Amino acid sequence: MKPIDAAASREDAEHALAAFEERWGRRYAMIGAAWRNNWERVVPFLDFPPETRRIIYTTNDIESLNSSLRKLVFHRGHFPLDEAAIKLLFLGLRNLEKRWTGTP
């Protein structure tokens, strides 16, 4: 599916989807059908330049990080001092950083 997401234009994405369906169409027929049924919702994303697409993907990563930090704070309940909350977030970020791969 990455060749479709990374396509430079709508036509390139269409060719990538056709190549996917040619190779995997019998085994994963529902995937090709889902892409075709929602094509008009997907292709506007391809109108953005690559730099903007990267920002959109980065936004998803930021939302994931915020969700992880919220879970840390939620399970602790309350904090006697602000420094305790800051320390928890620092340690949480340090642990989350180990999972980062650096790929867009």
Task: Answer for the pair 76, 88: CB distance below 8 angstroms, yes or no.
Answer: yes
DSSP secondary structure string for all residues of 11-57: HHHHHHHHHHHHHHTTTTHHHHHHHHHTHHHHGGGGGS-HHHHHHHH
Q: What is the pLDDT of residue 102?
A: 61
Closest CA to 3 of 22, 80, 92: 22
Q: What is the pLDDT of residue 34?
A: 92
Q: Which pLDDT band holds residue 66 (cuts at 50, 70, 90)?
A: confident
**High-pLDDT (> 90) share of the chain, %:** 25
Reduced to 3 states (helix: H, G, I; strand: E, B; else coil), residue 60 is: helix
pTM score: 0.54
Q: Is pLDDT of 37 > 90?
A: yes
Task: Answer for the pair 79, 85: CB distance below 8 angstroms, yes or no.
Answer: yes
pLDDT tens profile 15-35: 999 999 999 988 988 998 999
Q: What is the pLDDT of residue 17?
A: 92
Mean per-residue pLDDT over the chain, rounded: 85
Q: Encoding tokens for residue 91?
A: 């340690």
Q: Which residues contact 25 (CB under 8 A, 6 or more apart)?
A: 32
Q: What is the pLDDT of residue 103?
A: 57
